[in-house]
Structure formats: structure tokens, C-alpha cells
Structure 1
Amino acid sequence: LKISYINLIAELCEKTDADVNQVAKGMGFDPRIGSQFLKAGLGYGGSCFPKDIRALTKIGEDLGVNMNLLREADRINLDRIDFFVEKTKKALWILKDKKIAVLGLAFKPETDDIREASSIKIIKKLFDEGSYLRLYDPRAMENMRKIFPEKSPQISYVKSPYEAVKEANALLIITEWDEFKELDLKKIKEVMDNPIIIDGRNVYDPSEARELGFEYYSIGRQ
């Protein structure tokens, strides 16, 4: 519930020129709320949260309990995908034939688990729009190949983030691996065709990215 709530607040922050990180920090000072799970991004994934919420919803509804709160939390989580793809489309105008670097495939850092990962739905939507996708993840590429094999020229797996961004029209951050936080953004800008970052995990500082010459978009921040 807290993850969906902070992502809804992030959308509101974008409409009001607020910073969701500052809002979350303030909320976290309240001991009744706490600071855990107040990080805006692309929603939750993995084998637990989505399955458990839907299972609990069904149990409650079968027993005649109104489970609209959980249904809405699940809907908000799923909406993050369309929200992010639309943000990407707005940055690029059109997605067809655009070369897009996708960094992060696992549903969270430090795992190769892609079950219910945001990356799967995002890649599928971009693929259907006709984008050419270069995918990189430190651990999860072999698992993702089972879903998106390299049978189409639209999908390719690369050996490093720097290979992914070469001549790219945009860079998408999908999973907040520490490796991505430490990338040399100056080097990345030099090799991209269009220095555009759509940061789904708020990995970078907006001011620093823009000072380097990037067109930078994040979640719940200006």
C-alpha cells in the first residue's frame, strides 16, 4: 500500500512542481508511517507482493468483504508502466525506429529474478511501438532471453551499459543497480545520439544531469 501511495504522490508532485523525495522524507519522520517503502519509482514486482495482494483480494471478496483498497493499490502499481512509457514517448515524440538503451531487467537490484518485473511490460510496449532496444542487466539477461529472445533485430543484449547507450536516442533506468549510479555520465553523453535520460528509479540528481547537457526526466521530480 505504501509503495502505491508514494507513486500516486509522485504523480501529484509532477503536477505541482514538488519533489517526491522531499515529501517522502517529511512523511518518514512520522513514526506512525516510517520511511520504509516510500521510494517512488516503477512500482513493485517479484514473486510476493503482486501475487499476495491479488490472493488476499480474492479471499476477501469471496467472503463478501469490500477489497477496493487493495484493488486500487494494484491498479496504481500497474499504471506505473503506462505512466513511464508515456513519459518516454513524450521525450522522444515517436517511439518507432528509436534506439533505446534499457538498463535494468531484474525486478530489484542484487537478483536475477524477473518475475513480475516492470522491465517485461515496458520492453513489450516499446517493442510493439517499433523501438530498437539494447538491454543490459548485471545478472538477469539470461532469464530475460527466455521471454525476449534475440530473434528480432529490435532486441539485443549487450555486455555493458556503455555499449547499450552507444548511438542511443534515449537511456531508460529500470532497476536501481549500484553499478548504474556510478556510471560516467560525461562519457555516456558523448556516445549517445540524443542525450535523453528517463530515470524510472530516481538514480541521478536532476540538476547534475542537466548541467552535463542531458534532457532528464525522473519520477515525481522536476
Structure 2
Amino acid sequence: MRIAMIGTGYVGLVSGACFADFGHSVVCVDKDKDKIERLLRGEIPIFEPGLDRLVAENVEAGRLSFTTDLAEGMKGVEAVFIAVGTPSRRGDGHADLSYVYAATEEVAALIDGYTVVVTKSTVPVGTGAEVEAIIQKVRPDLKPGEGFSVASNPEFLREGAAIDDFKRPDRVVCGVEDDRAREVLSELYRPLYLNETPIVFTRRVTSELIKYAANAFLATKITFINEMADLCEKVGADVQAVARGIGLDKRIGSKFLHAGPGYGGSCFPKDTLALVRTAQQHGAPVKIVESVVEVNAARKQSMAARVKAAAGGDLSGKTVAVLGLAFKPNTDDMRDSPSLDIVPALVRDGATVRAHDPEAMGEARKHFGDTITYCDGAYEAMQGADVLVIITEWDEFRALDLGRARELLSAPVIVDLRNIYPPAEMAEKGWAYTSIGR
């Protein structure tokens, strides 16, 4: 099949490359001329393991191409995916759908033959109906189900494991309102039927809500175990043992029960907030999710206090080595990363911050400017520092040479916000070691 993918951000580029790898002909369209030129040169604008190879192979095979010309991209397509950004709208927390609606208007004007318009972006309940209304307004000659269809196909991609998530997903969710759209989406995902992947077909509104409900539930698990970590610290329990003890219950499961500095990233913060606003708007408030949003925001802001306490209660004139700035390993994404709260707070408290992240240094400069020192490696960041703080659990931080680290630091003090090292072992080696919930 021939499809167009509008947007070459994280979701659009990964989805487009994977669809091409399934054997479909994919044209990725973006208004950002610089980004398209980079992609045409073989440069990948985001960091995602394996994406550079996947893009290169499918470009070489002639199944994947890039353009800024939407009219060119839509020639002969059977489906158009809208994968543009839906950031939180300033002031009220609702999802900003201006990019989705603008793309819809442009797509509507170019429809030539039956086309399924698919929202791949994360959008609130009811967006599909609005997209359909916009197309009908622009093209009154087209009837839903005949000249076009609008479908919902939310993504469930984890940054750092997105390609595997796309090709070997737990499920694929498709929201459709007619059989013709269902047939097109079934054909697009036909390669997954071979792996017996559950393809869940629902109404559009249900599909849209599934995405938000899934992310809100996972965010709730993270926030729950973080609150249990605080209680563990008060009563002398071990949050990792608590997580294992409850996670072995199949009704609960072990994933997303890792205590830390709070969730961040491109999805959970904005999606939980958007769900809260949508629920309030419809008179069905989700009090649990409201609490999750509030507790997580407070948690990220409180983490700097742990560093301050470990440094003796005063950071003035002290140097803090920070390892990890991205919101999670294997990505350069810093959107709503805990580091965005922690690092500025350390600076405000008078600390000099020396930081290193394996992939997010370029992004970090956009956020922190010249307020911190950027280091080429973990040990360079430690040079002369009074405290070492681990914010992101990159693999290379899991096996630090602690002997070397002790020689570089002015004091053997570590604040481990990801519980990488065993507390008893660290104490035995003479480290003043602070972790989460242990």
C-alpha cells in the first residue's frame, strides 16, 4: 500500500520507517525544510537505537522517501497518517490541536480518490469527529465512508525501544466508523497478523480514550510506588522489595514499579493533564489522575532537597556532578525530564553543576544555556565535585569505577535517584550513599 505520514517527529519517523519495513510505500512529509534536508542526507534528527539503519535500508530499497510537498506526498495514497505534535496548551493544560487541524485542512484539499485519514497523534476524545467535520467543510463533495474515512490509530511506542514496540506490539488499536476504513487498516497491519498480534478494532472515541487511559494508568503505577518509597524511608522498609512483592501478583505486574524522581517524557505529563481537562470538561472528573499529576510535579521539584541534604544542608560554593539529563535512557528527549526541575534548583541553591549525558547534551544546552558546565564523560563531570547525582539510569552509569570516582570527587557522596547500587555495599566501601525508598 502507499501511505503518507505527516510529521517526521518521533512518532511519525519511527512509524513511517516501520511501515516501510513492512513492505508499504511510505512518503514522510514535513514543513520543516531543514529536517527534510537532513533526512535526505541520511541524518536522523532524533536519537532512537536502530532507527538510522532502518531508515537507510528502506530508503535504499525505494520504500521510504521524504518531502516538504504535501501534494507530492499524497499522490496515489490509500491512507494519510497525521503524526504532528499535540503539546499541552498554555494556560489550561488541554492538548493543543492546532497542528492536527491545520494538517487536516491541507489534507482535505488534496484528497483524490478514497483515502483514510488516520490520527496517529495522541488526541483527546472527539478529535476524530472534528477532523471529519473539517474535511467535510473543506470538501463538501466528499461523504464519510465513501470519499474518505477518518480513523484513530494511537501509538504505544516507548522511546529507546520504539522499533521493537512497533514491530512486536502488545496490541494495535484502531478506531473506525465504517468497514472500508477497517479493511484498509487491516491490510496496513497485515504483517502483524502473522505474529498473532491482537488487533483491537473499536469506535473512534473508544480508541482515543484507550491511549489516554493507558498512559494515565502507567503514570499512576509510577506515582504509587514513589509514594510507597517515601513511606519506606519513614518506616525503614525497602521499596524494591515492596515492588517485587506486589509485582509478582499477576493482577498488578512488575513493570512501572521502579521508584525514582518522578515521570517525565513526551507522553505521560501532557497526556495525564489532557485527560484531566477532558474529564472535567465532560463533567466526569478523574480524581485519581488529578492527584497523580499533582504528586508527580511536587516530587520532581523536591529531589534537589535530597542533594542539598546529602551535601550537608548547604550547596553554596559547592560543585555537583550530574549524570543523566534525558528523561530515560536510550533517548535524547528531555521533555519534562526530572533534570529540568533538579538542575535549575541546584543552581539556585548556589551549586556549580557539571553534567554529562550520553545523548542529550545538545538538548541540554537549549534548556540550561551557560548556567552549567557540559562534560564529555562521567568521570570528567566528577572532577573536583562535592556530590555525585545520578538522574538517568544509562547503562554506562550502572558500572562506574567507584574507586576512580572516589579519587575524583572531593568527598565520597552519591545521591542515586535510580537505585542503581546496593546500599549495604556502598556503605561498606565508605560511601555516603542516598537512594530512593531504601
SS of the equivalent of 2:292 reads: helix
Percent identity between the two aligned chains? 47
Question: Which of 278, 294, 310 is the equivalent residue of 1:91?
Answer: 310
Counterpart of 2:241, as a letter, is Q
Counterpart-to-counterpart distance in 1, 2:300 and 2:389 = 13
Q: Taking CA–CA contacts closer than 8 Å with sequence separation of 6 or more, which of the two structures ends up with the larger relative contact order?
A: 1
1:62 Cα deviation from its structure 2 partner: 0.9
SS of the equivalent of 2:367 reads: coil
Q: Paired residue for 1:166? A: 383
1:118 Cα deviation from its structure 2 partner: 0.5
Bigger Cα Rg: 2
1:35 Cα deviation from its structure 2 partner: 0.5
SS of the equivalent of 2:355 reads: strand
1:200 Cα deviation from its structure 2 partner: 0.4
SS of the equivalent of 1:26 reads: helix
1:31 Cα deviation from its structure 2 partner: 1.0
SS of the equivalent of 1:37 reads: coil
Q: Is the 8 A contact 1:176 1:203 kept in 2?
A: yes
Number of aligned residue pairs: 218
SS of the equivalent of 1:216 reads: strand
Question: Which of 6, 12, 18 is the equivalent residue of 2:231?
Answer: 12
SS of the equivalent of 1:60 reads: helix
Counterpart-to-counterpart distance in 1, 2:301 and 2:336 = 15
Structure 1 gap segments, 5+ residues each:
none
**Shift >6 Å, 4+ stretches:** none
1:83 Cα deviation from its structure 2 partner: 3.0
Instruction: Give a deviation string over 1:156-193, Cα, whole Å, max 9, x none.
Output: 00111111111111000000000000110111011111
Q: Paired residue for 1:40? A: 259
Question: Which of 55, 63, 71 is the equivalent residue of 2:282?
Answer: 63
1:97 Cα deviation from its structure 2 partner: 1.4
Q: Paired residue for 2:324? A: 104
Q: Paired residue for 2:394? A: 177
Question: Which of 358, 363, 368 is the equivalent residue of 1:148?
Answer: 368
Question: Which of 202, 214, 218 is the equivalent residue of 2:419?
Answer: 202
SS of the equivalent of 1:100 reads: strand
Counterpart-to-counterpart distance in 1, 2:382 and 2:425 = 19
Q: Is the 8 A contact 1:42 1:81 kept in 2?
A: yes
Question: Which of 102, 110, 123 is the equivalent residue of 2:343?
Answer: 123
Counterpart-to-counterpart distance in 1, 2:335 and 2:401 = 30
Q: Is the 8 A contact 2:301 2:341 kept in 1?
A: no
SS of the equivalent of 2:228 reads: helix
RMSD, aligned CA: 0.9
1:130 Cα deviation from its structure 2 partner: 1.4
Counterpart of 1:166, as a letter, is Q
Q: Does 1:25 align with 2:249?
A: no
Q: Is the 8 A contact 1:7 1:43 kept in 2?
A: yes
Q: Is the 8 A contact 1:186 1:212 kept in 2?
A: no
Q: Paired residue for 1:157? A: 374
Counterpart-to-counterpart distance in 1, 2:385 and 2:327 = 23
Normalised TM-score (structure 2): 0.49
Instruction: Give a deviation string over 1:125-175, Cα, whole Å, max 9, x none.
Output: 11111110001000001111011122x4xx100111111111111000000
1:66 Cα deviation from its structure 2 partner: 2.5
Question: Which of 335, 338, 356 is the equivalent residue of 1:136?
Answer: 356
Structure 2 gap segments, 5+ residues each:
1-219
